[in-house]
Amino acid sequence: MFQLNIICLMALWMVFSFTSFSQQQIINSGWQFSEDKTNWETINIPHTWNDKDAFDDEPGYRRGKGYYKKQLFLSKSQSDNIHYLKFNAVNQDAKVFVNGQEVGTHKGGYTAFNYNITKWLNYDDFNLIEVTVDNSHDDNIPPLNADFTFYGGIYRDVELISVPKQHISLNDFASDGFYVNYSNVSNESAEVDVTVLVDNFDNSKSTTQLELSISYEGKVLLTKSETVKLNANASTEVHIKFPKIQDPKLWSPESPSLYKLQIKLSDSNKNPIDFREQSIAFRWCSVDPNTGFSLNGKPYKLIGVNRHQDYESFGNAVPLHLQEKDIHLIKNMGANVIRFAHYPHRRELYKLCDELGILVWTEIPIVNKVTNTKEFFQTSIDMQKEHIKQYYNYPSVVMFGYMNEIFLRLAFDRNTEEEKEDAKVYTYELAKQLEDLTRKLAPNRLTVMALHFNELYNETKIADLSMLIGWNLYFGWYHDTIEDLGVFLDKQHRRYPNRSIMVSEYGPGTDARISTDTPKKYDFSQEYQLKLHSGYYRQVKERDFVTGMTAWNFADFGSEFRGDAIPHVNQKGLVQYNREPKDIYYWYKSVLDKNEPFVHMSLHTDATLNIVGKNDQKVTFFSNQKEVELFLKGNLLKTLKFVEGIAEAEIPFTQGKNTLRMVSNSFEITENLDVALIQDLSTDLPERLGINIGSHFNVKDSENGITFVADRLYSKGLFGHIDGEVFNINKENHQGIPQNIKNTNADPLYQTMLEGCSTYKVDVPDGNYRITLYFVEPQLKSEVDIIYNLKSKTTSADKDSKRVFDVIVNDETLALNFNMSQQYSDKYGITVSGLLKIKNSEGLTINLKPIEGKTVISGLLIEKL
C-alpha cells in the first residue's frame, strides 16, 4: 500500500502587448482559403472546411489538403526585431511557407507551434504567408481512430509576435518561456521558484536584468531581481527562488485564491524589453488507493465532466466567447473538475478554470491504437512535450494524461495472435516512455490514462504505469446493468489494492426530444439518462476509494460515423450540441450546486403535453432545496420533498392551459403549459395526432411541429396495434436501428418500428382526414461499424430478407407491392399519404398485407381537414 503525494500548484501567464518593446498581434482576419489552389475564398480564422460535410447525409467527410494564404506588411522600423509566427492549433499536419520558402512542418492538431520567420521577411513590403493543412489519415500522427470528428483547418488564433533580440524565450516548444514550481506548501507557508529562459539573438554578448514580484490583491509581497549575462546567439536558463510566503491563501474550487507573478526583462540601461504576467496559486493534492483524492490535506471527491471543443454549426472553429460560456455552464452546474478530452483545448479555458476554481485533467490524443514506427513514437513524444510545457503554468491542471482506451482497436480488430501480442508490447513501450517523460517534465502533477472495459489493461500491466487510472465504463448502456458498476469497481479494488482509480467516462446517449414513462436501456430518453447518471453517482459516492467521476460528455459533439438519434452526433452530453441543457444538467446542479437555490421541472413547456388513456401525469422535479410547494391552478397540490435532488408528483392536469407554481423560501417560479387529455378519441381527438408506432417513447418532431406519442396495444376508444413486434437490431437495446435516416431530421421516429404488424386501429370519429404513414427499410445497406457500442459484430443486409407488402387504409389501397429496398438505395425516411373520409363510426384501420417477408411501420400522423 502506498500514497502518492503530488504537489499540484501551478501558474498561468498572459502576454501583454507593449508597443515600446514586445508586440503580439492576432492576425485572424483576411485570409484566403482554397481546396484546390484554384478557387479561393476570403475567410477569417478560426476556420474549418468540415463544419458542414461532417453532418450531411453522405457518409464520410473530406479529409485531405486545404490551402491558406495571407499578405502581411512589415515596416522597416521593425527590422531590428525577431519575428515569430505562432499557430495555436492546426489540424493536423501543417506546412508553413514565408515568401515561397518553407519554414517548417508541424504534426499534430491540438497544440501550439511557432516559427522564427525573421530571415525570410521583407520590410516596407508585403510578405506572403502560406499554410498547407492536411487532415488526411496518417499512420504516424495520433489520433489514428476515435469517436469524434477530425475537422481540418486552422481553427485557433494565429499570432505575429515581434520581440527585441533579447527576450524571454519563445523557442521551448512554443511555451511561455518560464516555469513556476512550488515546494513545502502548507497552511502555514509556501515556497516558489521560477525558471526563466532568456534568448539572445545578437552576435555579441549582452547584459539584462530580470525583476520578479509576487502580489496579492494589488499588494506586493515579495520581489527578486537578478542580473543575467547572455552569450551571443544563445539561450540562458535562470533560476530564481523566492523567500517563504507565510500563511498563504490556499486555492480550491470553493475558494480559488490567485496571486499575481510579474516578470520583467530590462536591458543594461534599465529599459524594459519584455514582460510576462501570470496568476499563481498555492495548494497541494494527492491520491491514495483507499481514500481517493485529497486537496489541501482533506478528502475531496472529484465530480465533473469531460468536454469536447466543437459546437453546433461551427465544427471545431468555435468563437472564444462560446467556449468560455461552456466553462461557466460547467461551473454553474457545480462541477469541480473537467477532463479536457481527448486533446489540449484552448489555453484561455484553462485560465478561466484557474479563476473560477475548476480542477483540470488535460491529455494528448493518443486514442484507441498505436502505430509501431519511429515516426509515431517521436510525434507522440513531441506532442507530450508541447502539451506539458505549454500548459505547465496553469494552477487548475492537476493531471497530465497521454492515452485513452489505447487497446480498443486491438480488442476488436481482426488481427492475428502474433500481431496482437506485438501490439501489446510496443503499445506498453510507448506508454512507458510517455509516463517517464511526464513524470520528468511535470514532477508536481499526477499522471493519468483512461482505459476501456477490457482485461487487456490488467494483463499487460499498462494499468500500473500512471499514478491514477481512469476507467471509461458504460454499464447499463453498452453492456450489463447500471448496478454492475459497483461490482466492477469493488472487484478491481480487491485485485489491485495499490492502484488509484476513478470513473473517467460514463453515460448514455440522450435526445432531448425523447421522453417516456418507462425508460429502457438504449432508448435515448432523458428519463433513462437520469436513471443511469443518478445510479452511477450513488455508487461512486458510496466508495471512498474511487477518486471521482467525470460524465461523458458535457455537451453533444460531432462524430461523423454515428447513427444516434441525431446522426453524426454523439448524444451523451448533459447539454445539447447548441448548449441547451438537458434535464440531467439540472439534476447535477441540484446535487452539486448549493450556492443558488433553484427548481427545474422536466416537462417541456414549448409543446403540448399529450396524456393518453389516464388522468394523471407523473412529473419529475429537480432542486437543491429540501422542500418546494407545488401549486396547480393556484391551489396547493403537494409539498415536494427532494431526495438526492429529485422529487416526483402525479399531477391531475386538466384539458387546455395549466399553470404550475413552485414556491420555496427563496424563489417562486411559474410555468404554463398546454395539455391535451386523450381519454376517448371520439371526443378528445386533437387537430393533429402523431403516433410513434413500435416505440415506448414520445418524440418531439420539429418538422411537423407536434409530439408523436408512444405506441400501445389497441384498446377501444383509443389507438394501437393488434399484432406485431417491436423491431430492434440488438434485442437488448431499444433504439431500433442505430443508423442515419436520410432526407429527414426526425430520425427517432423512423428508427423505431413494428415488424409483422398486419392491423393497426385508431378509433377516430367520422370526418375528413389526411393520413400519413412513416416507413423505413431497416435492413437495407446496414453496414455500420458499431465498435463504440462495444460489440464485436456488425450488421449487414441479408439479401434473402426481402419485404414486400400492400398498404390498405379502410379498404382503400395506398400502396401496392410496397418494396422499399427496390425503390430506395439506402435508409430513407418514406411517407405514404392519402385523404380519407371516415363515416358510419368505422374509425381508422390500417392493414399491412405481407406478400414477401414481414411488414414494418414506424409512424402515423392523422390531421383533421
Task: Write the secondary structure of 753-782 as one string of H (helix), E (strand) and C (coil).
Answer: CEECCCEEEECCCCEEEEEEEEECCCCCCC
2 pLDDT exceeds 80?
no
722 pLDDT exceeds 80?
yes
678 pLDDT exceeds 80?
yes
Taking only the tens place, the pLDDT of each residue in 349-372 is 999 999 999 999 999 999 999 999
Looking at residue 748, the DSSP 8-state letter turns out to be: H
Taking only the tens place, the pLDDT of each residue in 512-571 is 999 999 999 999 999 999 999 999 999 999 999 999 999 999 999 999 999 899 999 999
**Average pLDDT for the chain:** 93
Residue with cell 503525494: 5
The residue-averaged pLDDT of 136-146 equals 97
| Banded model confidence at residue 783, pLDDT cuts 50, 70, 90 | very low
The residue-averaged pLDDT of 598-608 equals 91
pLDDT at 687: 95
Contact status, residue 174 vs residue 112, Cβ threshold 8 Å: yes
The residue-averaged pLDDT of 793-801 equals 43
Taking only the tens place, the pLDDT of each residue in 162-205 is 999 999 999 999 999 999 999 999 999 999 999 999 999 999 99
Taking only the tens place, the pLDDT of each residue in 281-307 is 999 999 999 999 999 999 999 999 999
The residue-averaged pLDDT of 598-625 equals 93
| Banded model confidence at residue 779, pLDDT cuts 50, 70, 90 | confident
Q: Which of 109, 510, 159, 554 is closest to 325 using CA atoms?
A: 554
Strand blocks (E) in 257-410: 259-266, 272-280, 285-288, 292-295, 298-299, 302-307, 337-340, 359-363, 397-404
703 pLDDT exceeds 90?
no
Grid cell digits, residue 605? 413547456
- % the chain with pLDDT above 90: 90
The residue-averaged pLDDT of 439-443 equals 97
Burial letters 562-572, b for 16+ CB under 10 A, else e: bbbbbbbbbbb
- Our CA angle for 850, 854, 858, nearest 5°, is 100
3-state helix, strand, coil in the chain (%, to 5): 15, 40, 45
Taking only the tens place, the pLDDT of each residue in 228-286 is 999 999 999 999 999 999 999 999 999 999 999 999 999 999 999 999 999 999 999 99
673 pLDDT exceeds 80?
yes
pLDDT at 793: 41
pLDDT at 21: 65
Out of 83-92, 407-416, 447-456, pick the least confident.
407-416
pLDDT at 18: 37
Residue scoring higher pLDDT (591 or 667):
591
pLDDT at 781: 59
794 pLDDT exceeds 70?
no
Following CA atoms 448, 449, 450, 451 in sequence, which dihedral angle do they give, to the nearest 10 degrees? -130
Residue scoring higher pLDDT (790 or 512):
512
617 pLDDT exceeds 50?
yes
